[in-house]
Each structure stands twice: as structure tokens, then as C-alpha cells.
Amino acid sequence: MLAILVWWVELGAVRSESKIHALLATARIANVPSVVSNLGVGILLGSIHDGSEFAWPWWLMVAAVLFYVSGNFLNDWWDKDWDKEKRPERALPRGMFSELAYFRVAIGGLATGLAISAFYGWVAFVVAGILVGLIVQYTKVHKKAAWSVIPMGLCRACLPILGYAAMRGNLAGPVLFPAIGLFVYVVALSLSARWEARGDLPISEKWKARGLLLGSGVFAAILPIFIYPSLGWIGLVPFTAWLLLCIFRYQSPVSAHVSALLAGIPLIDWILLLPLAKIWLEWKRVENDEPMYLIAMFLAPSCFVLGRLLQRVAPAT
């Protein structure tokens, strides 16, 4: 009797753990740190305070994470029939959760994110509304249209813009540089991800993706190099190093290549944030023990490392 009880408890624990893993996979938990980093570059670039007055907008971060996670639940709910054939290991094809539960989580999360964004001003609310619209558009077309990489890239580009708008109450040209860098990077990554099921990228597609990936880094570096030429380039060093690893060490299979590129998304943010932290320090806007400086220095690499570690917990795609 005792043996049966132990077996029943262990079976329940396995099932519970399996469900937790399925939810983490649906949420694409490994990519959540990059969302925080993308938002953070806009927050720091848009801050009107110096280091002693800077305060991190925690609720805005919650909204950004809700947008991302809810978008993934909506995506899996929309793709439920396709996943039954192509991705039967996912939660809905396996019958682990109801389709209605996924839909409710998605709509509730997106609505909550919008409500939170409204507290940061009408400009932030409008940007959040555009982001939600892009999430819905991408969900509807990503299995049907080649141009679906555009709304996907724009979703990422909206994150630094949202952070900037929340801090400034308006929009300005500087935030476009990290936003466009992210857009180009995610488009390049998405072009590679299309070949995930086939094992390897055709040569022509490899060179197209590599050109876009390199271009994304160069574009993101324009602003810091323009502000301070002698320091503005240093953020390109870690980005280029990881990009080379993605191209030569993690080039095959495509799933490993895409996962490595996903982990590297925060390094696009660091292209701007690393030199920005040093510039602020030189201009006496921050001290080296203040949160504003520490976040600019360490947010992006921390999100990079955390994202890579979380890929061992649940798949990033």
C-alpha cells in the first residue's frame, strides 16, 4: 500500500513538473530577459534624470513581460491545429491545457499590460497599443506570409520606444537607433528560423542573414559613435564576438543557431548601453555606484547570460 502511495505521489509530481515545463516553453521563458533588456535601453536613453534621481519603472517592466508572454500564449492558441501536425510536443496538442485557458491568459495579459502602460502617459499607452496590434497581426499571418518577419521585428522595436516614451512622455529621434537595430536583427534571425525544421540553411540564405545581422550592429552603434567617437564603438566588441560564435560554432543545426542568436538579442542593447555608461561617467552625470550606471553597464550582459541559461530549462523557439 505504501509503495502504491509513493508511486502515486511521484507520478503526480512528474505530471506537475511536466505541466510547469510546458507553460515555461509556451511563455518562451528563455527570451523574457531579452525583453527586459530591450525595454531597458529605451528607459535609460530616455531618462531625464541624473544618476542620483533615476528610478527604474518596475510596473512598466511587468507590462513589457506581459506583452511578450501573452503574445506567445496567443500564438500557440492560434497555431493549435498546425502544431498538432508539426509540433505535437507542445502543450495544446498534447491536451495538457484547454484552448480556452490559453486564450484567456493571452487576452488577460495583453489587457493588463495596456492598463499598466496607461499610467506612464498617453504616448506610452499609444506605443503599447501599437505593440499589441503588431502581436495580433503577427499571430494571424506568421504561418502564411513571408512578410510576417516585419511585424515580428517591429514588436521588438517597440520595446525601447515604449521605455523611452514612458520616461520622456514623448518620442524623439535617438530612440530609433536601438529600435531599428533590433528590428533588423530580429528580421535576420527570423529568416534563419524558417529553416529550423530542415536542418541547415542554404548558402544564399546564410549570407543574407549574416549581412543583416552585421548591419543591425552597425546601425545600433551609430548614435554612441556620433556622441563620443573615442568610446562609442566599444559596445560592438562583445556583439561581434558573439556573432562570430553564432556563425562559426553554432551554425548547425539551425535550431542551435537560432537559439544562440535569440540569446544574443541583449547584446544589441549593449552596443549602446556600454559606451553610454562610460560617457555618463565621464560627463559626471552618474557615479559608478549608482543604479543608473550599474543598470547601463550590466543589464544587457546579465540578460544575455540568464537567457542562455534558461534555454536549458525550456526551448527558446
Domain map (residue ranges) of the chain: 18-310
What pLDDT does residue 17 have? 59
Distance CA 177, CA 193 (A): 24
With a cut of 70, which residues of the chain have pLDDT below it?
Answer: 1-17, 194-205
What pLDDT does residue 140 have? 92
What pLDDT does residue 176 have? 95
Closest Cα partner for 156 from 41, 17, 255? 41
* Architecture in CATH of 18-310: Orthogonal Bundle (1.10)
What pLDDT does residue 199 have? 55
Q: Crossing angle, helix 58-78 and helix 99-118, to 10 degrees?
A: 150
What pLDDT does residue 143 have? 80
Q: Crossing angle, helix 265-282 and helix 291-310, to 10 degrees?
A: 160
What pLDDT does residue 5 have? 34
The model's pTM: 0.91
Q: pLDDT digits over 169-228, tens only? A: 999 889 999 999 999 999 998 877 765 555 565 666 677 778 899 999 999 999 999 999
Three-state secondary-structure class, residue 283: coil
Spell out the residues 6+ positions from residue 207 whose beta carbon is closer than 8 angstroms to its own. none
What pLDDT does residue 13 have? 40
Spell out the residues 6+ positions from residue 7 whose beta carbon is closer than 8 angstroms to its own. none
What pLDDT does residue 147 have? 85
Distance CA 202, CA 260 (A): 18
What pLDDT does residue 183 have? 97
